[in-house]
Structure 1
Amino acid sequence: MKISLTKKKDQSLPEQIFQSISDRILSGLISEGEKLPSVRKLAEQLGVSLVTVQKSYEMLEKKQLIERRQGKGSYAKRSVKRIEEENPYNWQNMIEDFLPRAQTWKEMKSFSRQHKYNLSLANLAHELLPVEHLTEISTLVIQDEPTILSSYSPGPGDQILREVVSEYLLDEGLEVSAEQIVITSGAQQGLELIARTFLGEGDVVFVEAPTYIGIIDILKSRGVTIKTIPTNEDGMNLNVLLQMCEQFSPKFIYTNPTFQNPTGTILSEKKRRRLVEIAQAFHVIIIEDDPWGELRFEGSTKPMKSIDEDGHVIYLKSFSKPISPGFRVGCIVADGKILNKLKAAKSVSDLGSPLLNQRIIARFIQSFNFEAHFKKMNNLLLLRRDLLIDTLNHLDIEGLRWTVPCGGPVMWITFPTHVNTEHLLIDCLKQELLFLPSAMCYPNEPEVNHLRISYGNLSLKTYKEALEIFKEIVKSHMESLDPFTEDTPLF
């Protein structure tokens, strides 16, 4: 277990050790019941005093993340079974790893269990996607270009797809050349390439609070210092951001400005321009993540990259949500030396994304009526959003609040502060219902009284069933709570 310690004014050594171990426990990298290193052994490994490690373990015990047994050691909590004695792979604990957190992996494991009512996965249901047309195009591409099956793609991506994407982005209000585009295996790979290329231990990155769980895992794997910027109904609080830029020296600002994940909010046009100005003033790079900007119910907003004149914005686009998650095609748009370095990093990473997938997506974009498709899809998503709002109104819970997204497939719901949505999730799982608890969406001290619901992942029939079940579980859970006693956090 590799723990990196730095001299931070705002976080003591015990707090850093606590954060690192708690991240591993909560994301499943340290298994339930697994024995932790002794205080003495960990102190020797990290080069710190016994008192420092002792304080960290006391913090973990206070948060109910470990159980300390007299004369036997400390164990990851939630299971008292001595699984380390029964597991034949325990010797692998001696192999040092550099993976500090894996909430994305934990969340993906829950998807693979095929919960009947999965309101957690921010995806679109089969019935909302252009599956039939994709099937036809896939067959035609293989028939017309069989040599693709025995060919690699250029590292930065297939030239045909890059030119097609350039035209596609123009319709979205972003004018870029094919040479500015790097094709990736989904936007997640784009984020990982940016982090691996430009971020190292000690760098400072600002993210929204709450934020996309995938970016937290990536940033923590690089050993960076993550600072959070609060958000409100129109996106990131730029007054706080400006103060933070003056106090720290951030290298990147990560934002999901269009139907933000997980809140569904949108950064206003005025704020977009101001954010770019702040980045220019402090020589900071903005990572603009745009997974589903096309899924819009009302209004119109151009990407921030469209007003970037000197390369302060790296733009990420995913085609998983609007077209198909099965093809895992996305892109990075950048400029100058940053672009060249990302092209090199992509080539080193995997020699290029699968050529077949790229050609299918290219021909699909060229032949498909997106205007009609998005109009139909967005009307169906709007219906689902309104069904969720109607369900929440019928709960009649004092202090219950929620965002009202103008697009995208997710909504953020805030319960009174005495509610822990991790505990609510336990009740929901008993009936095969899953949502995303808010604790996963914070890189540091989490807030536990929120949750994210995806209203696009299920068929309409199953979705309506899920909302009825969710309503009854929430009512029952709220009746069981004492509003004057704050629910003990699991995160």
Structure 2
Amino acid sequence: MKKYLAIITDMEQQIADGAFKQGQKLPSVRSAAKTYGCSVSTVIRAYEELERRHAIYSIPQSGYYVVEKAAGKPADADSEIIDFSSASPDLNVFPYLDFQHCLNKAIDTYKYNLFTYGESKGLDKLRLTLASHLANDQIFATADRIVVTSGVQQALEILAKMPFPNGNSVILVEQPSYDIYLHFLETEGLPVSGIARSAEGIDLQELEERFGSGGIKFFYTMSRYHNPLGTSLRVEERKKIAELASKYNVYIVEDDYMADLGQEQTFDPIYAYNESGHVIYLKSFSKIIFPGLRLGAAVMPENMLAVFHTYKSYADTSLLSQAALEVYIKNGMYERHKRKIYSQYTPKIAQLIQSLDRYDERGMIQLARESAGIHTMFKLPRTVNLDILAGRLAARKISVVTSRKFYLSDYLERDKFLRISISRARLEQIDEGVKAIVEETRRADS
């Protein structure tokens, strides 16, 4: 480890342990250099990085001081409601200070250029940074094939409406799937059909039959941390889907919007296994930073770029937000924040599993053990009335979402389940919430 990084690690640990208290002045640069046995310039570099991380601040001709954290309880700390329904990130992990720094840095760097209309494809410098960033997930694409969008939802809507090179019109979607997109497709009257996906995966033989029957424009899938299931497709499934796309000239729209809310070092998306240009990869940056950012990226095949740009037609995402995101990623803040989120969400999923094992002795509720990210599914007995169960839980101040909204209106082969999201539920609430769900499920089943 480089010396300045070792100093940063030690300083952060001392601040966390209270050796350096809020508002306290840190040792002078020269004093710290003697303590750590290094040059003054090394200490200055470490202090500047700590300042960028908002751990300390400087006062000219005075020195460096530990940042005083804002007083007060975390958001929702006093709420009696156990929120298993919200898909939004935890308000208490939003990187407000880091992103504020990036906004200021972006303004200093780009100045008045940020207050023009910009181009519909997005800020050039951000797209170059995204090309490098996405390569870490085995998404290799040049910047000219990356389009910045107003969240993933905008890209999904454009893709649904625009013509595809295969000339087909039917959109094939997993069942269950992302409820907002299903509602959009049905409201717009677009031809859409469903194929079953469970916690065990997808029937590849049926998928091939559907691809081979003709008429499929694209297959919409969430390969990683599926909403609402919480599971990811296995390697063999991803490889096979990539192969079938090329064989039958069916495009895959791979929505990886939950990618950064978990940790799978060896996960390669479907995009990585397809060499024929039949996969469109979508990435969101709103879920990990904050929803109001409304920034996403679409990696498009070369032969579809012109049509996609025609349908997008104008710049609709803030250049200031794009420039700030570029700074945020390039400075390493994005990766650091991703690890922070993972460290906070993982114990919640673990507690959920532990509590279900404790209270559901009869095994009424099925849970996919490999769930990750922020969602999982509690599969219920078919005899349970979902509306009654949700009502009884609401009376006990427990908010849940039932499986009804995650299916097309005419899709009949439905499972009964609760989608459980842990992002807004406090760790100390989870055991109580799971206990209540088991009790009310047993009561409804009887």
Q: What TM-score do you get using the length of structure 1 for normalisation?
A: 0.69
1:381 to 310, 331, 345: 345
Offset of residue 406 of structure 1: 5.0
CA offsets 1:436-456 (integer angstroms, 9 cap, x no match):
211111112363620111112
Q: How many residues align?
A: 363
Contact 2:82 2:433 survives alignment (8 Å):
no
CA distance in 2 between partners of 1:322 and 1:433 (Å): 25
Offset of residue 123 of structure 1: 2.5
Alignment partner, residue 399 of structure 1: 364
Alignment partner, residue 301 of structure 2: 335
CA offsets 1:224-249 (integer angstroms, 9 cap, x no match):
33322222445322111112233452
CA distance in 1 between partners of 2:252 and 2:129 (Å): 25
1:203-242 superposed matches below 5 A: 203-242=169-208
Q: What TM-score do you get using the length of structure 2 for normalisation?
A: 0.75
CA distance in 1 between partners of 2:430 and 2:377 (Å): 17
1:456 maps to 2:423: yes
Q: Kindly, what percent of the aligned residue pairs are identical?
A: 28
Alignment partner, residue 251 of structure 2: 285
Contact 1:197 1:341 survives alignment (8 Å):
yes
- Say which SS state the counterpart of residue 154 (structure 1) adopts: coil
The amino acid that maps onto 2:230 is G
CA distance in 1 between partners of 2:356 and 2:81 (Å): 21
CA distance in 2 between partners of 1:149 and 1:372 (Å): 26
Contact 1:187 1:329 survives alignment (8 Å):
yes
CA offsets 1:279-331 (integer angstroms, 9 cap, x no match):
11211111000012233344521121122222211111101122222211001
CA distance in 2 between partners of 1:180 and 1:150 (Å): 25
1:188 maps to 2:153: yes
CA distance in 2 between partners of 1:167 and 1:155 (Å): 21
Contact 1:298 1:407 survives alignment (8 Å):
no
CA offsets 1:369-396 (integer angstroms, 9 cap, x no match):
4444333322321100011112222332
CA offsets 1:117-176 (integer angstroms, 9 cap, x no match):
332222221333333211221233234444255311201111111111111101111111
- Say which SS state the counterpart of residue 163 (structure 1) adopts: helix
Measured at CA, do residues 400 and 469 of structure 1 come closer, stay the same or move farther in structure 2, by a change above 3 Å? closer
The amino acid that maps onto 1:434 is S
CA distance in 2 between partners of 1:473 and 1:243 (Å): 39
The amino acid that maps onto 2:422 is Y
Contact 1:436 1:452 survives alignment (8 Å):
yes
Measured at CA, do residues 299 and 142 of structure 1 come closer, stay the same or move farther in structure 2, by a change above 3 Å? closer
- Say which SS state the counterpart of residue 223 (structure 1) adopts: coil
CA RMSD, Structure 1 to Structure 2 (Å): 2.4
Alignment partner, residue 118 of structure 2: 153
CA distance in 2 between partners of 1:226 and 1:115 (Å): 41
CA offsets 1:42-96 (integer angstroms, 9 cap, x no match):
xxxxxxxxxxxxxxxxxxxxxxxxxxxxxxxxxxxxxxxxxxxxxxxxxxxxxxx
Contact 2:270 2:279 survives alignment (8 Å):
yes
Measured at CA, do residues 464 and 281 of structure 1 come closer, stay the same or move farther in structure 2, by a change above 3 Å? same
The amino acid that maps onto 1:353 is T
Contact 2:149 2:298 survives alignment (8 Å):
yes
Offset of residue 472 of structure 1: 2.2
1:176 maps to 2:154: no
Alignment partner, residue 128 of structure 2: 163
1:120 maps to 2:67: no
Alignment partner, residue 91 of structure 1: none
Measured at CA, do residues 132 and 449 of structure 1 come closer, stay the same or move farther in structure 2, by a change above 3 Å? same
Alignment partner, residue 267 of structure 1: 233
CA distance in 1 between partners of 2:434 and 2:386 (Å): 12
- Say which SS state the counterpart of residue 272 (structure 1) adopts: helix
Offset of residue 430 of structure 1: 2.8
Measured at CA, do residues 133 and 482 of structure 1 come closer, stay the same or move farther in structure 2, by a change above 3 Å? closer
CA distance in 1 between partners of 2:119 and 2:90 (Å): 32
The amino acid that maps onto 2:424 is N
CA distance in 1 between partners of 2:80 and 2:129 (Å): 37
1:130 maps to 2:99: no
Alignment partner, residue 435 of structure 2: 471
Offset of residue 197 of structure 1: 1.4
Measured at CA, do residues 395 and 154 of structure 1 come closer, stay the same or move farther in structure 2, by a change above 3 Å? same
Alignment partner, residue 439 of structure 1: 404
Contact 1:174 1:305 survives alignment (8 Å):
yes
Contact 1:195 1:222 survives alignment (8 Å):
no
In the alignment, structure 1 segments of 5+ residues that lack a partner are 1-113, 484-491
Measured at CA, do residues 198 and 463 of structure 1 come closer, stay the same or move farther in structure 2, by a change above 3 Å? farther
